[in-house]
Structure 1
Amino acid sequence: MHPEGPAVSDAPLLRIEGLTKHFHLPGGRVVHAVEDVNLAIDRGHIVGLVGESGSGKTTVGRTLLRLTEPTAGRMIFDGTDVFALSARDMRVWRRRLQIIFQDPYSSLDPRLTIAAIIDEALDTRGLPKGRARRDRIAELLELVGLAADHATRYPHQFSGGQRQRIGIARALAVEPDFIVADEPVSALDVSVQAQVLNLLEDLRRRLNLTMLFISHDLSVVEYACDEIVVMYLGRIMEKGPSRALRADPLHPYTKALLASAPQPDPTRVRTHVPLAGDIPSPISPPSGCVFRTRCPIAIAACATRIPPTRDLGGGRSVACLRVGEGADHPPFEMEAHA
């Protein structure tokens, strides 16, 4: 499910520079949700953002849409710094930036018909009422694999997968250029997950959509995305093309995520990566490398130095003192074949 990808312009559609988000709590405590994240997403590509719960993935997505305001950083979207826009100007830009929510049950108003739910989104485009609206709603439903006559039904009359298709139709109603898909299949059965993932890939191809796909499941991200970004406790650990990262993970955290993912190959012998304990609190993150308290190859320097991001070429980068050019690290295999 990883084509070479559509042709893109030289400049990425979206570029994040130094994105930081802190939440201030009573008593002077600070939640370090996101720290100095840099990321570029090319037009027509799906980039997966993956990590455990508490890694800051959803905060990144919500901040890009300005559903929460950044503490620092820039977001250059199609040449404009979206973080610098006024609230009034942002209302216009929101039509270009949309979200697909995680829970298809709570994200749809149970009091409204499907037509009314999508109609609310169409209001922002100023589309005239009447036949044009009805035709557009029918077109959107058919685009996501539903029937036009489903428009008169209510959310409770649909399955979870169908509700998520309705949520996708609502997001597409304003013809966005960029979509944040926040765990869009995590609440669905495995068989339905594949159907929704295939739908998103089809829509990307047909509409040239650009998407940030957020998930805790690396196997899902690897299936759905052109590029994978691995995040831990607010920081990016590794980035790379999906196939390359899957075939040769570099960061010990990436290897741990891959080791924990289900594998359908019965001939593959898994050598589990030690990953003890829970993710630390973002209120008091570890000094130096935030992953060091769970890392099986950490050294003393990891406690005092924040690893720089090393550009390894081929679209790959890693933030680890023991991985990269000139780094001295022992073999760290994740799995082997029998």
Structure 2
Amino acid sequence: MKRISLPLLAMMAVLSGCQTMGPEPELNTRSVYSGDNSLLYQVQKQASSPDKAMQIAAMAYQAGDLDQALYQYLKAIELDPKRYEALVWIGRIHRERGNVQLAEMAFADVLASEPENLDALAEMGLLRLAKRDHQGAQALLFKVIALDQRRLGNEIGEGTPDVAALKVDSQSPLKVYNGLGVLADLNNDFALSEAYYHLAMQIDPRSVLVQNSLGYSYYLAGQWPQAERTYQRGIGYDAAYKPLWRNYGLLLARMERYEEALSAFEQIGKRAEASNDVGYICLVEGKLDAAEQFFRSAIEQSPVYYATAWENLNRVQQVRRIRRMGGASAPTEAAPLAAPAQ
């Protein structure tokens, strides 16, 4: 067996559930797949080449079988240690599962050998953005932009780019341009964020990710009619995208269109949760009577399960007591805004 780097050994250990690795990692890994998963055993017999392992890993990923996809990407790296595409996918799977440290190890392992690997730079930058390391994220994403522009024959360097001079095509990394739009929103530079989102839409005009980000940007900028139109357009592209429904529900609640907000939140959760979400937004807005109504509705729908509504109802009573004692307003938290998914 070819040598595997330290990060891969750690990932294999997590996958197999073992504390130590024996001389035959495949035997330990196989224990994860006990049962009737006949496809796994076919793969173990067939995946004798890195290309075959990559092919079946991609099929498993598309089918939602992340365990098998991870196993096969690891197999591809075992067979070809320079198959960095497999290592990037290993990092992606760990990121999706919330294994941030393992994801970082995978991307870092790629970058140690290929410092200009566009996919690894992009994934590491988006990971930093998710961890709220905005400066680190921006530096990495700018590097990706420079590499993408070089591919398109547009040399710009790795500093802050002139967005108006950027070019994109269908192969450009959409999530990177979208991520830079999110960073601009976090700096309240809405004109810059809109420019990045429009570049992302040139890459994929029907991307629901970009529609959600752009709608959220309009919301933050106080341009609510534009936000509503953008969310509705995104729903038309993909009505199953949950982050968009949550942000759309937030917007509708802020616009005091409560029944529509409830319907939006119900697309991603139960009626009790939807009532609690609308009630919380009313609480933050200082609309205590409306907030109490929605919290009580949530409790009636799920008195045992939905304890959160009881806590929020108590907060309403606390705010009222503060007001009666002469407080001008209650020290409520900021509205729970759902940041666009990356």
TM-score by length of 1: 0.30
Structure with bigger gyration radius? 2
> Quick check: which one's helix share is greater?
2
